[in-house]
Copies of this chain bind each other. A is one copy, B any other.
Amino acid sequence: MLDTEAVVPCCPPITAGELSPEDAERMSAMFKALSDPVRLRLFSKVASHAGGEACVCDISDVGVSQPTVSHHLKKLKDAGLLTSERRGTWVYYKVAPSVVAAMSAMLDLRV
């Protein structure tokens, strides 16, 4: 499990210089979290949900079982891309904006 605070901000734009082996380990783990189509769809459902937050009950229609959904959400959380909070019966997921922004900035070739 990555520590979100330690991960952000990791990396300058990829054109600015080559990644250290340590930064490559950290960033590749984040890309890995988005490397599965179902996981990427779950992530996009959370990110595009009203208020930037979604209940697991809102996003589970991705054609896989509930335990598989939970497994994928845990992977996204472990990679630092989502945070979660239990409120009553449901767990709510939110995008971790600074982590996702770090990934976007790393791939930003305009700089």
Binding site for B on A (CB under 8 A): 14-19, 21, 24-25, 27-29, 31-32, 34-41, 43-45, 47-48, 52, 63, 95, 97, 100-101, 103-110
CB within 8 Å for A40 and B31 given contacts A15-B52, A100-B109, A107-B103: yes
A-B contact sample (19 more), CB < 8 A, given A17-B48, A21-B37, A101-B107: A14-B43, A14-B44, A14-B47, A14-B48, A15-B47, A15-B48, A15-B95, A18-B44, A19-B41, A21-B41, A24-B38, A28-B37, A31-B32, A32-B32, A32-B35, A32-B36, A95-B109, A104-B106, A107-B107
Provide the bound-state CA to CA distance between A110 and B93, in Å.
Answer: 19
